[in-house]
């Protein structure tokens, strides 16, 4: 069956209800879900938010056939900042999206110092920055405002934890429910927090 976004929805073929949507493969698809959500926002003229391309320097290319070039060697030109940026209701939006299979905490090693520094700069200039964290085994996705992230980030360098406990993210963050068209409807959370 084709849906409004032009994509087919997969359904389970076994079990009691064979027409139940298949959510079993949602574990490692946060980026896909956010990209689909951003496309929905764009089509609905709600926001303009895109994934940032990673700057890469291609060094060696192999041309086995005229129609197929294969990149053999490439390097990152520079450290990238965060995954997504754009504009919503006149405000600059900038965020990083991460998944973890850990059920009890989010490891801070999933982030880089330059990303956190970038989020701080966005906040200092009046933008909105945040982290979207998906606990894939729990099928839960949270929006954690960057201001809540910063204290954990600094604490790890002063003998504190190297992760944010799931319970803390559940308390300080905001659960983003899975929806049909806006699979990761983070703008709904931003509306509650900032608008």
70 pairs with which residues across the strands?
Answer: 62
Query: Does 33 appear as a known binding residue?
Result: no
Query: Does 100 appear as a known binding residue?
Result: no
> Other CB atoms closer than 10 Å to residue 148's CB: what's the count?
17
Query: Does 115 appear as a known binding residue?
Result: yes
Residue 188: which H helix or E strand, with range? helix 186-194
CA 171, 51, 145 angle in degrees (round to 5)? 20
Q: Distance between CA 147 and CA 166 in Å, rounded? A: 17
DSSP class of residue 45 equals T
Query: Does 121 appear as a known binding residue?
Result: no
Q: Distance between CA 108 and CA 82 in Å, rounded? A: 15
Dihedral (Cα; 28, 149, 145, 175), 10-degree rounding: 50
> Other CB atoms closer than 10 Å to residue 30's CB: what's the count?
21
The answer to whether the beta carbons of residues 95 and 47 sit under 8 Å apart is no
Which residues fall in the annotated binding site for Mg(2+)? 81, 83, 96, 115
Which residues fall in the annotated binding site? 81, 83, 96, 115
């Amino acid at each position: 069956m084709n849906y409004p976004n032009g994509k087919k929805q997969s359904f389970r073929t076994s079990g009691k209800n064979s027409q139940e949507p298949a959510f079993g493969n949602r574990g490692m698809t946060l980026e896909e879900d956010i990209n689909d959500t951003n496309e929905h926002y764009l089509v609905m003229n709600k926001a303009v938010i895109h994934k940032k391309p990673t700057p890469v320097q291609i060094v060696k290319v192999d041309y086995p056939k005229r129609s197929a070039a294969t990149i053999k060697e490439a390097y990152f030109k520079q450290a990238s900042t965060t995954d997504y940026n754009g504009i919503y209701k006149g405000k600059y939006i900038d965020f990083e999206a991460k998944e973890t299979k850990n059920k009890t905490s989010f490891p801070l090693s999933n982030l880089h110092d330059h990303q956190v520094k970038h989020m701080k700069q966005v906040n200092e200039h009046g933008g909105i920055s945040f982290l979207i964290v998906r606990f894939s085994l729990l099928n839960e996705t949270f929006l954690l405002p960057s201001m809540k992230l910063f204290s954990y980030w600094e604490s790890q360098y002063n003998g504190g934890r190297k992760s944010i406990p799931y319970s803390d993210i559940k308390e300080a963050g905001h659960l983003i429910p899975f929806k049909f068209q806006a699979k990761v409807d983070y703008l709904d959370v931003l509306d509650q927090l900032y608008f």
